[in-house]
């Protein structure tokens, strides 16, 4: 039994030793690949086609992401890079490595984002997958595939002048309380405004407004829907620090309504609101006097 226990201990020590060695080797290989990536980037930015080709394996296949043409071998890859770099004279390469995974002791997969930065500073991004192979103790590129990063359309530039509205707002007196919360949607293409009107601590009305940029009309527009079944559309125009929102809507009973709501920016923590030229089914209604709406303190 003692001999059996001793043999098991020896086997366990050998296995642990192999795992430790393997982990150490992988750490060294990872560091070598990271150094090779830095060297590749430096060669590209130095416009050194020969140094770039030297980072590829002798039988590597390179696919030009600009033309889709395919070449094989270092000599052909070098000529391909000479042609590419001649057209990208003032372009620099920046690489963001996201992961390096080892498929086997001699093969690793690198994933990341590459940026070509032109003279005017505009980057062209692509995601890539690079296959590295270990040849004679050196890590070299064997294959690289790239995909353009999709450009997300956003109307933030047109809506950012309303960014001060983002947050939670309150207008309250002894009889009623109106609370509004403004948020960006994804990609900042729209602003949503959810609101509640409470009378004597009871929510009497609630609704949602969506504010966006109309690229056809070249104007900010909004759409509002309330809990009673009414809905309306607004068109926004700005004069100095005042926004004039011309609203036309449909009442829950099918009637028509219109108004001009005036939003006056005071500072990032307060604005004034007023509604004038109000009509219902063609009949004129009294104006709503100007009120001050303040930003609510952050909830603890």
Q: What is the pLDDT of residues 104-140, one digit of tens each?
A: 999 999 999 999 888 776 778 889 999 999 999 999 9
Rounded to 5 degrees, what angle do the CA atoms 281, 283, 285 make? 115
Query: What pLDDT, on a 0 to 100 scale, did the predictor assign at position 13?
Result: 37
Per-residue pLDDT for 96 more than 90?
yes
pLDDT value of residue 293: 95
Q: How confident is the model at residue 2 (pLDDT cuts 50, 70, 90)?
A: very low
In CATH terms, the fold of domain 15-148 is Nuclear Transport Factor 2; Chain: A, (3.10.450)
Q: How confident is the model at residue 151 (pLDDT cuts 50, 70, 90)?
A: low
Tell me whether strands 123-135 and 242-250 are parallel, antiparallel or unpaired.
unpaired
- The secondary structure of the chain in percent helix, strand, coil, rounded to multiples of 5, reads 25, 50, 25
Q: Alpha helix (H) ranges present in the chain?
A: 2-45, 49-54, 74-87, 156-159
Whole-Å CA distances, 52 to 36, 43, 193, 215, 248: 10, 6, 54, 45, 64
Phi, then psi, of 53 in degrees rounded to 5: -65, -30
Instruction: Name the architecture of domain 156-295.
Output: Beta Barrel (2.40)
| DSSP-derived 3-state class of residue 235 | strand
Q: What φ, ψ does residue 145 adopt, rounded to 5°?
A: -120, 145
Residue ranges of domains in the chain:
15-148, 156-295
Is a pLDDT exceeding 90 seen at residue 12? Answer: no
Tokens of 26: 């992988």
**pLDDT reported for residue 87:** 86
CA-wise closest residue to 44 among 83, 91, 76, 5? 91
More confident residue, 202 or 207: 207
């Amino acid at each position: 039994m003692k001999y059996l226990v001793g043999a098991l201990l020896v086997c366990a020590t050998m296995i642990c030793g192999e795992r430790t060695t393997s982990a150490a080797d992988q750490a060294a290989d990872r560091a070598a690949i990271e150094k090779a990536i830095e060297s590749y980037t430096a060669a590209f930015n130095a416009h050194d086609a020969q140094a770039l080709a030297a980072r590829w394996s002798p039988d590597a296949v390179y696919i030009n992401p600009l033309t889709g043409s395919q070449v094989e071998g270092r000599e052909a890859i070098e000529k391909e890079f000479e042609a590419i770099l001649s057209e990208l004279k003032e372009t620099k390469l920046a690489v963001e490595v996201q992961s390096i995974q080892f498929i086997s002791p001699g093969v690793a997969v690198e994933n990341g984002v590459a940026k070509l930065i032109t003279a005017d500073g505009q980057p062209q991004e692509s995601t890539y997958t690079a296959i590295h192979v270990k040849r004679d103790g050196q890590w070299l590129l064997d294959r690289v595939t790239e995909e353009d990063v999709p450009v997300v359309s956003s109307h933030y530039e047109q809506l950012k002048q309303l960014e001060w509205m983002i947050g939670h707002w309150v207008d309250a007196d002894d009889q009623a309380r109106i609370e509004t919360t403004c948020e960006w949607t994804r990609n900042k293409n729209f602003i949503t405004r959810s609101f509640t009107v409470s009378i004597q601590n009871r929510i009497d009305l609630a609704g949602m407004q969506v504010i966006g940029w109309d690229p056809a009309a070249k104007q900010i527009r909004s759409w509002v829907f309330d809990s009673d079944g009414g809905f309306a559309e607004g068109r926004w125009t700005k004069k100095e620090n005042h926004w004039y929102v011309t609203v036309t809507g449909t009442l829950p009973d099918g009637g028509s309504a219109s108004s001009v709501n005036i939003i006056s920016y005071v500072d990032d923590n307060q604005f004034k609101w007023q509604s004038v030229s109000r009509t219902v089914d063609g009949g004129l209604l009294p104006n709503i006097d100007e009120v001050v709406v303040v930003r609510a303190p952050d909830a603890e």
